[in-house]
Structure 1
Amino acid sequence: MKAFVANVSAFAREEDGVALSEYLVLLGLLVGGVIGAVTTAGGSLSTAWTNWSGWFLVLDDATPAG
């Protein structure tokens, strides 16, 4: 257990370890923001794509065959 505490303390003292920790926290926030944005806008995007596909199908049916 003392070895683990010593390793964690050494990691915290090193500047590289602190910078890595900060980057990992930033990465986690960015990933969480992207997931939240996709989840929030997902229903609207699904509806928009469905409406667009229906519009293209109507245009395709209205085109003369030849």
Structure 2
Amino acid sequence: MKAFVAKVSAFAREEDGVALTEYLILLALLVGGVIGTVTAAGGNLSDAWGSWGSWWMSSVSTDAIVSTP
């Protein structure tokens, strides 16, 4: 156990270890933010996408029937 603590302490003292730790924390915050945003807005986005798809299909179907010779 002492060897593990010594390795972790040495890793934390090195600049590369500190930079890696900072990047991992930043990555975790970004991933958490993306997951939170998708979770919060997921229902609204699904509804908007569905209504847009319905409008698109009805518009394309109407245009295809009118413009077909």
Per the normalisation by structure 2, the TM-score is: 0.84
Distance 2:5 2:15 in 1: 18
Structure 1 window deviating more from structure 2 (56-65 vs 7-16): it is: 56-65
Q: Which runs of 5+ in 1 are unaligned?
A: none
Runs of 4+ deviating beyond 4 Å? none
Residue 53 of structure 1, CA deviation: 1.1
> What is the TM-score of this pair, normalised by structure 1?
0.87
Partners in 2 of 1:28 and 1:40 — Cα distance? 18
Specify every segment of 5 or more residues in structure 2 that has no aligned partner in the other structure, as ranges.
Answer: none
Q: Which moved more, 1:56-65 or 1:34-43?
A: 56-65
C-alpha RMSD of matched pairs (Å) = 1.2
Q: Which residue of 1 aligns with 2:45?
A: 45
Higher deviation after alignment, 4-13 or 52-61 = 52-61
SS of residue in 2 equivalent to 1:49? helix
User: Aligned residue pairs: how many?
Assistant: 66
Deviation at 1:40, TM superposition (A): 1.1
Return the alpha-carbon distance in structure 2 between the equivalents of residues 14 and 39 of structure 1.
Answer: 38
The aligned amino acid for 1:4 is: F
